[in-house]
Amino acid sequence: RSIRPGGSSRAPVEKADFTMALAVTASAFAPPQSLACLLCMGGLIIWAGGAAPPEVCASAGESCEAMDDPSLLQSGHRASTLAAGSAHNSIKSEDLLPPLTVPPADPIPPVTGAYGQPRIGVKDEQLSAAEYIEKFVQNVEKVVEVKLNDPGYAFAFNPKKLPGTEYYINSSYPTLFGDEGSVKQPGYGGIQTYTVLNITPSAEGLDVFRVSNDYHPLEHRCGIWWGFTSTYKSSIVDAATNVQICEVPKAVNRCTLTETFTAIVGQGWPLYEDDAKSNNRGCVDPVTGTPTTKGGFVTEFYLNRSKPFDNPPKDDVLQVVFPACQVVDNMKSSELASCVTIDLPTDVATLKEIPDLVSVAANATDPIAKPGGLDFENGLPPSLESLRDHR
């Protein structure tokens, strides 16, 4: 049986049934010695909204705490189910998003190049994401691709060992390849190409940015979707085009990274009107077809295209997907490491006149993460559905 979001007509998942289904699936695709850890790691396999019960792990006679086995990602979609595990056993299985799978299932019908490596055209060259970042992103010392069998690859998709990431594992990573999963594309956001990179900042520190709502506490403005300076050195409408959001943001956030970090880097799927009308985005009134208050002048721009919502991002816009605030919170080598936020003006005319969100972020001083400065130990409450992360 499958775990589905709310509204499913399927029978509830019973633990006994799920144990059997999981054992059959895992044994078909994973080596026998990894099966016990496959059962025990709640971050790799969903167990009715939580980790596998302690008695299952105990009877397996294995400790899975230190396991980061990329072979679990190799064996097809079923054995590589990754996200939506949660230590909050109160979460009902029907409330969970569809699980993240790596590699993702292909779109239906197929889309050329979907879920391959990012390639960025520069003059007559086609650069990889690592090559492009090393050449064109300031304050980067080195970029190394993390391959499927390398340590740390699985961590990029499921950073459960990092305190404070549980909310993202439940509500953000499952939409990595689209608001409704990897198959229903294009038009539903997420990334359509991807790679995993270790990025080493230079001594000056590397800045990444994101826009968000004006949440309080301020650390709720953190998330997994970030971009380089070039993505946000633009107006609100152009930045929204770059990262394919349709709402008017209320805050801009900046993290300065000073140590090597691991991130998923990819190019985004376009956002279409159907998704903007849905509960995923809520930017277009499904009855009137006009912008909601949330969508505002950003959605108005999308709707006023010669073909509504025909506004894809350029191929040199790279999404940088990682829990930046929590990563910064663990950087101890430099006082430069920090994440800060600033509210945007509330007046629409003033918002439309902002030429450059990076310059706005330069004035940010309120901390949302700083080494040892904020407590991310318990993460963000999974009940706060309004915080569901979109890029």
Residue 31 pLDDT level (bands cut at 50, 70, 90):
very low
Task: Encode pLDDT of 304-320 as tens digits.
Answer: 999 999 999 999 999 99
- The DSSP element (H or E) to which 327 belongs, if any, is helix 324-329
Distance between CA atoms of residues 243 and 252, nearest Å: 13
Output 318 or 3, whichever has higher pLDDT.
Answer: 318
Mean pLDDT of 287-302: 98
Please provide the distance, in angstroms rounded to a whole number, between the alpha carbons at the two ends of the chain: 31
| Closest by CA position to 232, among listed 319, 158, 161 | 319
The whole-chain average pLDDT of the chain stands at 78
Q: Which two tokens stand for residue 213?
A: 């709502």
Per DSSP, helices labelled H in 61-125 are 76-79
Strands (E), the chain: 119-122, 125-128, 140-145, 195-201, 206-212, 225-227, 251-257, 261-266, 319-321, 338-343, 366-369
Q: Which residues pair with 265 in a beta bridge?
A: 195, 320
Q: Is the pLDDT of residue 9 over 70?
A: no
The dihedral over CA atoms of 83, 184, 198, 148, expressed in degrees to the nearest 10, equals 70
Contact 43, 160 (CB under 8 A): yes
Question: Partners of 209 in the beta sheet?
Answer: 227, 254
Is 259 exposed, middle or buried (CB count within 10 Å of its CB: 0-12, 13-18, 19+)?
A: middle
Residue among 141, 131, 133 nearest 260 (CA): 141
Question: Which of 268, 224, 185, 261 has its CA nearest to residue 83?
Answer: 224
Report whether pLDDT(89) > 50.
Answer: no
pLDDT at 42: 36
Q: Over the stretch 143-163, which tens digit does the pLDDT of each residue have?
A: 999 999 899 999 999 999 998
35 versus 317: which is more confidently predicted?
317
Phi, psi of 270 (to 5 degrees): -75, 160
Which conformational region is residue 178 in: left (phi greater than 0), alpha (psi within -120 to 50 degrees), or beta?
left
What is the three-class DSSP state of 321?
A: strand
Structure tokens that stand for 207 in this block: 């800045």
Confidence band of 351 (pLDDT split at 50, 70, 90): very high
Over range 268-295, report the average pLDDT.
97
d(CA 32, CA 151): 20
pLDDT at 14: 33
User: 27 or 372, which is more confident?
Assistant: 372
Q: Measuring CA to CA, which residue among 261, 255, 259, 254 is closest to residue 203? A: 259
Q: What's the count of helices (H) and strands (E) in the chain, helices before strands?
A: 14, 11
* pLDDT of residue 50 exceeding 70: no
- The pLDDT of residue 81 is 32
272 pLDDT above the threshold of 80: yes
pLDDT at 385 over 60: no
SS3 label, residue 359: helix
Residue type for position 335: E
Tokens of 274: 């159907």
pLDDT at position 376 is 53
- Burial environment of residue 332 by CB neighbours within 10 A (0 to 12, 13 to 18, 19 or more): exposed
**What are the tens digits of pLDDT across the range 204-227?**
999 999 999 999 999 899 999 999
pLDDT in tens, 158-194: 999 998 899 999 889 999 999 999 999 999 999 999 9
pLDDT score, position 130: 98
Q: What is the pLDDT of residue 300?
A: 98
Give the side-chain half-sphere CA count within 13 A for 116: 9
Q: Give the mean pLDDT of 325-345.
A: 93
Residue 193 and residue 175: Cα distance in Å, rounded?
Answer: 14
Lowest mean pLDDT among 298-312, 326-340, 360-374: 360-374
pLDDT-above-70 percentage for the chain: 70
Whole-Å CA distances, 337 to 281, 308, 322, 332: 32, 41, 16, 8
pLDDT at 372: 58
Q: What was the pLDDT predicted at 390?
A: 54
